[in-house]
Structure formats: structure tokens, C-alpha cells
Structure 1
Amino acid sequence: MAQKTALIVYAHQSPASFNAAARDVAMQELAAQGYRVLLSDLYAMDFRASATQDDIIGDLKTPGHFQYGDETMSAWKEGRLCADIVAEQRKVEEAELVIFQFPLYWFSVPAIMKGWMDRVLTQGFAFSLTNMYDNGVFKDKKAMLSFTTGAIQSMFKPDGINGDINVTLWPLQNGVLHFCGFQVLAPQIFWGPAHCPPAVRAAMLDGWRARVKGLSEERPLTFAPCDLFDLSFRGGFRLWPRAREERESQGFGITTGHHLGKPLPPDNQTRAHPDPRS
């Protein structure tokens, strides 16, 4: 049997951080399961976050009106992307599982990790209008977010001051990972480790180690399937009328994003649920 490969994309400046400890736990446990573990330590690599025309080798297609997406797609097709992007794309290609490990900054990933997403997940390589969501390029791969918060868990409840964590996670999990086709595993959230005593932090890491042991058996999160939508410009890529009608009697929307004016389905972005068509 061919060896499995996992990629950890990691963003924290300090080797003494809780994020570093969570990274190490994942690397150790995956290696113990026989994975070849690749690491992209973005700060140590001094990974460049800005998506600019420096990412392209050679002449631009339209130098008078630079459009990053179009230019990088052409460069990807022609083998003219810069070396650091190509190296990261090779890692993604090799990996069956991608884990993003980071501290939550301003309800999102740190800038250096957002830059990795902007620059590495180029059009053509990671997505197209015909290869997106459950028809996406990476539909045979799994990905997940593993992150720390500065806030305690109750602050991210639907009635908490920060709002529902499911809403916070929707842009990253649906708009980045699922958009590229990844099967998205439920996030690993370490709630406020900086506010916890050492024994609690140790228990968090023990729980993460136990979870990593069983990651291969986990069911991914569910998202609205593409066949519910009219995937044409004429139809506006909107829900088919029959699909909307079928859900009129249901108490919740389809997903956090496709709420249809209904209450959000509970824990839609934090826990695996049955297929919304069932």
C-alpha cells in the first residue's frame, strides 16, 4: 500500500506557543499512523503574503491591466509561477490530508496564511467555474482547520458577544476549502488556551492526540450539493425553484450560508450532519 501524505500549514511565530504544541502532536500522531508528514512553517519560511505580479515569471498577458487571477492561471498552465508557489502546490498535490494550524486573528487566519491561500490556491490549479465545491479539483482530499482562540467558548455562542462560531467559520470552510473541493473535517477549536491552567492545556492536547488517531474515520461536514443549483450564468448559479420548494416546510435552512431566511442549522460548521438532501 502506498504511503499516505499529510500537509500541515502552520502559522505562529513562537516555537513555545500552544499552536506549536498542537502542530507537534498532529505531526507525531500522523507519523505514528504511517503518514509522511509535510510541514509548511510559514513564518520560518518567511513566506510572502502579498499576491503580486512578482508571482509570475516572464511577460504578462495584459500588462496594461493586471488581473492576478487571470495572469496566475495562465502562468500555472505554462509553468511560469514563481518557485515558492510551485513548491507549495506540489505539497498540496501530494497530500491526502491538509491541516491548517493557526491562532484566530480578527475572526480569520493570520495574514501570512491568508497569503498562502491567495497565492497557492490559484485558478486552474485549485478551482474553476466547472470544478468547484463538490465537483472541485480536490474532492478526493480532506482538509481541516485547527486553531486557538483568545476568547472563551461562550463568547462564540449564538447569544455570545462574538456571535455564532458557525458564521465565523463559513467563509474559510465553505468559501476556501469546500470551494476547492476538499472534504472538510470538523474544525479542532482550542478555546482560550492562554486563559487556562497548564493541566487544562495538557488535556486539550491529549484530546487532540486522540482525535488525530481517528481522523481517517471521521465523516466530513455537509454542504449544499451542487445539484441543488442551476449552475449557469443564465440561472445565476441559484437554487433551483424545486429545491427551494422542497425545503419550505423545514424548520432550518440548508447550511449556515444557504439559510433561506430560516434559522441557521445548529452546528452546521462544527459538527458532521447527514446529507441535507436526506
Structure 2
Amino acid sequence: MAGKKVLIVYAHQELRSLNGSLKKVAEDELGKQGCIVTVSDLYAMDFEPRATRNDITASSSPGALSNPKLFNYGVEAYEAYKKRSLTSDIVDEQKKVQEADLVIFQFPLYWFSVPAILKGWMDRVLCQGFAFDFPEFYDSGFLKDKLALLSITTGSTAEMYTKTGVSGDFRYLLWPLQHGTLHFCGFKVLDPQISFAPEFASEEERKGMVVSWAQRLKNIWKEEPIPCTPPWYFGQ
């Protein structure tokens, strides 16, 4: 797979964490395959998670906004994308996504979702015009030629994330992220990589999580995307 381009969007504060180890082994393994790997380390970049009028570079100019009296972020970001007047941090990330064959999101689960800094990345980077439009969404989304994969660590054990567990089937949690965000933008979604409760695992078990991820990445380009339909999440 030499020449394939991979973007890792990394959202953890500590490189010595399991998330950091999973990111590093992905860089190493994919690099060995000849892939070109780019990492967006959101905390290290001090990435701005808030979607505001500051994202439109021309917003301070009279008449630059579509409706300066009533600010609508979605509308203004869409218009700014078409006019090439989004701020450089958004444009830089969009270029990385556009160039990637595979985007890996590496993060710890926060409140059944992504950390705020990663949610902000999604809010600001995956704007209308760049990632989707209407009716170009889901299978017709603009990122339809790309793969996406969530690599997640949890604070709870695997047993808690079952149909009979206190937190319910883990697939329920994946619906808004994999379907409502990634598939909506057209991504072909691969099975998630879930590393359960590393804080409560032994050192040997944590090493096993890293090894498991490295082994999977050896054949990642042969994997088939999941069927992005409700039955995959709720029908089994």
C-alpha cells in the first residue's frame, strides 16, 4: 500500500497514554507499509473547538456576511467555504482530509461521545460545501472515496457495553458518530477499534491492546466497510 495517505486525528492530552501508544504504533505500522502518515494532534495544536464568526476571515468587513444582523454559523461557513474565506486552521485540516485515503480518529470516549476538541474539529472542518451538500450526503457525500475508522479507549469494561450491560450495546453509541457524522459526509466506515478500560487493565493487557491494533493495521487495506444501515447498529 505504498503511497496511500493516512490522516490520524488525535485527541488526547498525554502522549504517554494508551491513546498515545495507539497513535504511535499506527504511525509506525502504516509508515512501514509505505503509507504517508499525517497527524493532527489537536491538543498540541491548541486547536480551536468553538464554531464562531471568527471562522470567517472576512466577517469584520461590512457586508461580508450573508446576514450580518442574525449570525447563522452553518450558512456563513458554507458561503465562506465557497468564497475561500474560512480561517487557515480550518482550511489546513480540510486539505489534510481531502488528501487522505483513510482518516483514523484516535480518542478516549467522553460521555458516550468524543472530547470537546474533537467535536469542535468535526463542527468546523466538516462544513457544508466541503464534506457534503444537499442532496449530496450519506452515500453521495463529498468524502465518499475515503475510509474512516474510530479508534476509541473507554473508561468502562467490555461487559458494561453489551445489550444486557448497564451501558447498553456499544454499537448504540456509534450511531451518531459513524452514521450521523462520518457516513453523512460520505465516508466508507470501517469497524471501530475499541480498547476497553485500559486504566483498569494490567500492563500486559494494555500491551496486548497495542499489539492487537498493530496486527489489524497490517491488513487494514483489505477490510470491507461496515454496512451503514440501522440494522448494523440496532438490529442484532
Class of the TM-score when normalised by the shorter of the 2 chains: over 0.9
Verify the 8 A CA contact 2:109 2:115 in the aligned structure 1. Answer: yes
Opposite residue 22 of structure 1, the aligned amino acid is L
Correspondence for 1:265: 235
Matches within 5 A, 1:220-235: 220-224=225-229
Matched, 1:186 2:188: no
Matched, 1:47 2:47: yes
Bigger mean CA deviation after superposition, 38-47 or 57-66: 57-66
Shift of 1:3: 1.8
Q: Select the structure that is richer in helix.
A: 2
Correspondence for 1:56: 56
Matched, 1:4 2:4: yes
Correspondence for 2:108: 103
Shift of 1:137: 0.7
Correspondence for 1:230: none
Opposite residue 235 of structure 2, the aligned amino acid is P
Correspondence for 2:61: none
Shift of 1:254: 3.6
- Structure 1 unmatched ranges of 5 or more: 225-252, 257-263, 267-278
Verify the 8 A CA contact 2:189 2:228 in the aligned structure 1. Answer: no
Matched, 1:121 2:126: yes
Tell me which structure has the larger Cα radius of gyration. Answer: 1
SS at match of 1:61: coil
- Aligned-partner Cα distance in 1 for 2:136–2:12: 32
SS at match of 1:125: coil
- Aligned-partner Cα distance in 2 for 1:125–1:52: 18
Q: 1:203 to 1:255 in 2, by over 3 A?
A: closer
- Aligned-partner Cα distance in 1 for 2:55–2:221: 35
- Aligned-partner Cα distance in 2 for 1:140–1:155: 35
Verify the 8 A CA contact 2:29 2:214 in the aligned structure 1. Answer: yes
Correspondence for 1:32: 32
Larger relative contact order (C-alpha < 8 A, sep ≥ 6)?
2
- Aligned-partner Cα distance in 1 for 2:130–2:15: 32
Matches within 5 A, 1:39-188: 39-58=39-58, 59-188=64-193
Bigger mean CA deviation after superposition, 38-47 or 123-132: 123-132
How many residue pairs get matched?
231
Shift of 1:129: 1.8
Matched, 1:205 2:210: yes
TM-score (structure 1 length as normaliser)? 0.81
Shift of 1:132: 0.7
Opposite residue 206 of structure 1, the aligned amino acid is V
- Structure 2 unmatched ranges of 5 or more: 59-63
- Aligned-partner Cα distance in 1 for 2:221–2:163: 30
| Residues 16-63 of structure 1: per-residue CA shift (max 9 Å, x gap) | 100000000101011111111010000000000000000001121101
